[in-house]
Structure 1
Amino acid sequence: MKISGLFTAVSLAALVVSATPAMAQQKTLYVAGYGGSFEKTMRDEVISDFEKKHGVKVEYVAGNSTDTLAKLQAQKGNQQIDVAIVDDGPMYQAIELGFCGQVQNLPTADLYDTARFKDDRAVAVGFVATGLMYNKKFFEEKGWAAPTSWNDLKDPKYKGLIVIPPINNTYGLYTLLMFAKMNGGGEKNVEAGFDIMKKDVNPNVLAYEPSPGKMTELFQSGQAALAVWGTGRVQSFANTGFPVDFVYPKEGAVSLLASACPIEKPNASPIASEFIKAMLEPKIQLILLKDYGYGPVNKKVEVPAELGKMAPIGERAASLYNPDWTSINAKRDEWTKRWNREVER
């Protein structure tokens, strides 16, 4: 039996904001974003200085992208969250559902065009590549060469050693999509992807794990040696000293935009956009690169050579596969139900 990843929903009650319409500015800013090492970086490098500068308290609500989107849907008409930080796929959904306001006074001249969403309803705060992570020490001890291809996930020698996030996580979705794309399909035809996942990849999977903390635990305990993950997560894990490395598969890595938007609601916080813009400043962009492997979205950032080993920068960024999220989101619920029924059983 596979180990199934579970996430614990954060109580909505914890998000209650005590504010009145007459208040010119909220005293507390609620930011919903990724957990794990990303949350630590946000608390250490962004939130503390922002609180001092603006005289507010920032409450950070950790969760994966689909969890945050679910909160926005549950709070429709009575939004508690002020800023949402999610993957680009859920962000397109959030915009379509009317949850995102416009980022005010966005420094557009400083940003790469690919970082901007239509009408500035959101903005990417970092470029991420999705590919393979492997335990270098484990592979060396086994005498195995480093993985080079998405097809390595099908190799029987990795039976019980692979971890892939589930399909409600962008990394799991991209795994399905890449196998479809490599075999004549794509966003509009994922049959080949499902067939390969069921027959060839699933027998090798130890866990479909959404939790970053659990993912690292499975590697640290020696239970897992190969995974599908993003440069941000892998860089952060490698920064702890654990011997992991990231592989850009020869068939292509997939782009992921870590994105942020101010939440549209009556009496929306005037500093929601300011919080987002703080993450776009060159100093913070370099920190996100160093701590989290994000390729900078700000063109003014000068990247030191030693910090650009994993992140999608330059030619690596230009060669990423950029999925059609309009097509994906139209089918994502259907694919999720099918995945749960046929793959992750």
Structure 2
Amino acid sequence: MSLQEMPNEVMEKLVDDADYATIQSIRKVSRELRSFIDGKTWQFPMYELSLDAYDDFIKLQWYHLHGRYQPFFFNGILEDYSMYYAQEKLGVVVDGGRSVEKMLKSEKVHTVGFIDLEILLNSSLLKLKNLRTSFYTVEKKECRLDYLLFKEKLKNLFATREQKVEAENVCFKVTDQSEILLILPHVDPSSVEDIYIEDSREIRDSELDIGEVVQTAQWKNARTLTLQNCILSAPLKHFTHFDEAYINVGSISMGDVIDMKNGICQRNNFEKFKRIHLYYVYVSDEEELIRLLGEQTSDWSYTQVWLYETVDPRTALRLEKFENRVTFQSRYVSPNMTLIPLE
């Protein structure tokens, strides 16, 4: 008896116990089975999702949980999948996903890649540990329009989901903030704990404006931040809520540093604060900044240190300045510690 001849009750039981790869294989057998599969609602628990999108290449990688799954308990196995899509003169080369490499003639890479991504997301329960996206372009004219349309469709795909994506760690490798905003605003804000941002343009000391990103609820809810290969352009007052952060900025004013210091000292949850490393290229009126920071606790080997009172009487804020780095760090208050009063 073939699959098509099996009673619906048997097929229901068969596919209910199948993993994602098996479901997709069954779907390709015939039109009848494709209609049967597409007529069901699938919710494969997904653990991690990674998307790399370029002018002429797309890579999808994800991990499904196969077995018994609950939000805080998993008794099963992680199944990893990878799909590669490359634009060639004759069409699109597709490789991975438990199948052999194949050529789809006269197709566009972003069209084929998006169709598979849409099927994947619509059949998955997206409560992710990690969500990673990477965008890069060398502006190939023959792919430019398709690439822009792909990004717009990607944004709509996340924006129109009935249930928001949950992601604990979100990672963005981008050329500008618009590529972050394709996805970040459509992630459940309460699920976001860590944000990682990297400039994919590979231009040394390039500036990445994130003025709109810092206004999102997801940014405001995150607890840790890491910036790689980029200099951010955004007011420093939007960074004081992070418990731990590594921040590169371009030029900063003495007011920026003072505002950041005051914002951290006045945090209602200062007991959760760990450290923020602030790297800068240039600070305006550095001598005046040092004067405004108050009396130094120490000045060792070009490292200047200040200690400040906070809203938590048990802990102090230690501000350390060394060359072009300012570090804000939490310190327990000791009996003989002299603190600069809270403003």
TM-score (norm 2): 0.22
Higher relative contact order (CA 8 A, sep 6+): 1
Bigger radius of gyration among the two: 2
**Larger proportion of helix:** 1
